[in-house]
Amino acid sequence: MNAIIFGAPGSGKGTYSSRLQAQLGLEVISMGDIFREILKKDTKLGKKVKSYVEKGLLVPNDIVIDVLKQRLSEIPSGKGFLLDGYPRTVDQARSLEKIVKIDVIILLLVPDWIIIERLSTRRICRNCGAVYNTRFLKPKNQGVCDKCGGPLYQRPDDTEEVIKKRIQIYEEQTQPIVKLFKRKQIPFVEAHCETLDAPPDNIVKEIIKDLQKLQLA
Select 177 or 211, whichever has its Cβ closest to ligand ADP: 177
Least Cα distance to 107 among 183, 199, 3, 213 occurs for 3
Q: What is the identity of the amino acid at 94?
A: R
Q: Which of 79, 138, 147, 155 is catalytic?
A: 155
Q: What is the CA radius of gyration of the chain?
A: 18
Q: Which does 123 bind (CB under 5 to 8 A by kind): Zn ion, ligand ADP, none?
A: none
Q: How far is the CB of 180 from ligand ADP (least distance, A)?
A: 15
Q: How far is the CB of 134 from ligand ADP (least distance, A)?
A: 22
Q: Which does 125 bind (CB under 5 to 8 A by kind): Zn ion, ligand ADP, none?
A: Zn ion
Q: Which does 215 bind (CB under 5 to 8 A by kind): ligand ADP, Zn ion, none?
A: none
Going by the DSSP 8-state scheme, the letter that residue 85 receives in this structure is S
Least Cα distance to 109 among 24, 198, 1 occurs for 198
Q: Nearest-5° angle of CA 14, CA 83, CA 182?
A: 110
Residue 88 is a catalytic residue: yes
Q: How far is the CB of 32 from ligand ADP (least distance, A)?
A: 2
3-state helix, strand, coil in the chain (%, to 5): 45, 15, 35
Residue showing the smallest CB distance to ligand ADP in the complex: 32
Q: Which does 147 bind (CB under 5 to 8 A by kind): ligand ADP, Zn ion, none?
A: Zn ion
Strand order in the sheet with 122-125: 131-133, 122-125, 152-153
Cβ–Cβ < 8 Å for 140, 54: no
Q: Which does 59 bind (CB under 5 to 8 A by kind): ligand ADP, Zn ion, none?
A: ligand ADP
Residues 6 or more apart from 84 whose CB is under 8 A from it? 4, 5, 13, 14, 17, 28, 29, 30, 31, 32
- Which residues of this chain interact with ligand ADP, rule CB under 6 A? 9, 31-32, 35, 52-53, 56-59, 64, 85-86, 88, 92
**What is the total residue count of the chain?**
217
Residue 166 is a catalytic residue: yes
- Which residues of this chain interact with Zn ion, rule CB under 5 A? 125, 127-128, 130, 145, 147-148, 150
Q: How far apart are the first and last CA of the chain?
A: 8
Residue 155 is a catalytic residue: yes
Residue 164 is a catalytic residue: no
Select 53 or 75, whichever has its Cβ closest to ligand ADP: 53
**Residue 131: how many other CB atoms lie within 10 Å:** 12
Q: Which of 13, 19, 118, 123 is catalytic?
A: 13
Q: How far is the CB of 108 from ligand ADP (least distance, A)?
A: 14
Residue 126 is a catalytic residue: no
Q: Catalytic site residues?
A: 13, 88, 122, 155, 166
